[in-house]
Structure 1
Amino acid sequence: MDYSKKQEWHYQPVRISGTKVERVDSFRYLGVHISQDLSWSRNTNSLAKKARQRLYHLRRLRDFRLPSKVLRNFYTCTIESIFTGNITVWFGNSTKQDRQTLQRVVRSAEHITHTELPDLQSIYYKRCQTKARRIVKDPTHPNNRLFSLLSHHKATLAAKS
């Protein structure tokens, strides 16, 4: 990784067993687009595009006058799941602009369903807390000793300061 602002990079080719490894600007791994500069814009654009395509189907269901509860369930299963599948990987390091791009899709879905939907920031925090609790409860997890959860009282005090 090179964090300098140079426009041209001159890298030595990487070889594995004598074979030169192809250099790419980004690649997709387990559904997440990872770019060479570690920005999440390509991933965000891909998620937003896929989610907007699903909004079409949500609008069609609304046009059939389905109840809001059914529309919300459809949103959760088909659109929210696109965002949240790997949210703990990319959301914490995404830019404000990327987050706003995705949140606009959520607001569009709120307008279509006529219900309040959870924002991505809340979903991210909840998922991170769940992962942390699982790690702390599992003494065999490799990261178990790296951190411990604050008690509810201490966490509340830390959040206020």
Structure 2
Amino acid sequence: MELRVSLSSLEISEDLSWHQNTSALVRKTKQHRYFLKSLKKAHLSLGILTSFYCYIIESILTNFITVWYGGSTVCERKALQRVAKTDQRITGTQLPAIEHLHHSRCLRRAHNIIKDSPHSSYKLLNLLSSRRRYRNIRTRTSRFRDIFHLPSPY
């Protein structure tokens, strides 16, 4: 029996794997690649091609990335990176890696939580005595440390 929960475009399976989510993201980005190739054939500038990638394709790839990227497998991450590399060849410019996008989005999210004291996760982000790093949760494996928490519905 396969149980699927879908939050807008985030798919979670019964076994808590992200395979369905990443395959859906890859499929969506491949559909939008047609338009990127059409813009390339029209001999538009690199700036327009890069902007199209950032606004359309990258926004699809980074949908809820702070939630699912930490729990995805190496195979799924490579599939997503392959999409970015192919689009990089089409645009002819250096595009950010998926891992870099995940890291920057998590940092931005943590900074927003730190600024908002009534936020439900504000208490989870405690500074260490050095005042330069935040306390990390203690776990036996890195699985739970890599996963950022779900967005609050409010």
Displacement of 1:153 after TM fit?
8.4
- Counting aligned pairs with the same residue, the percent is 38
Match of 1:95 among 44, 53, 73: 73
Distance 1:152 1:80, change over 3 A: farther
Normalized against structure 1, the TM-score is what?
A: 0.77
1:99 CA displacement: 0.6
C-alpha deviation, 1:148, in angstroms? 2.8
**Cα gap change, 1:149/1:108 in structure 2, threshold over 3 Å: closer, same or farther?**
farther
The structural deviation recorded for 1:136 is: 1.2
Q: Which residue of 1 aligns with 2:113?
A: 135
Distance 2:75 2:130 in 1: 32
Query: TM-score, normalized by length of structure 2?
Result: 0.80
Q: What RMSD over aligned residues (CA atoms) do the two structures have, in Å? A: 1.9
**Between Structure 1 and Structure 2, whose CA radius of gyration is higher?**
1
Greater Cα offset, 34-43 or 129-138: 129-138
The Cα shift of 1:24 comes to 4.1
Query: Please, which runs of 5 or more residues in structure 1 have no aligned partner?
Result: 1-22, 156-161
List structure 1 segments (4+ residues) > 3 angstroms apart after TM superposition. 149-155
C-alpha displacement at 1:147, in angstroms?
1.5
Corresponding residue SS for 2:11: strand
- Which of 1 and 2 has higher RCO (CA within 8 Å, sep 6+)? 2
2:147 alignment partner in structure 1: none
Query: Any conservation in 2 of the 1:136–1:144 contact (CA below 8 Å)?
Result: yes
User: Relative to 1, partners in 2 of residues 1:60 and 1:97: Cα closer, same or farther, differing over 3 Å?
Assistant: same
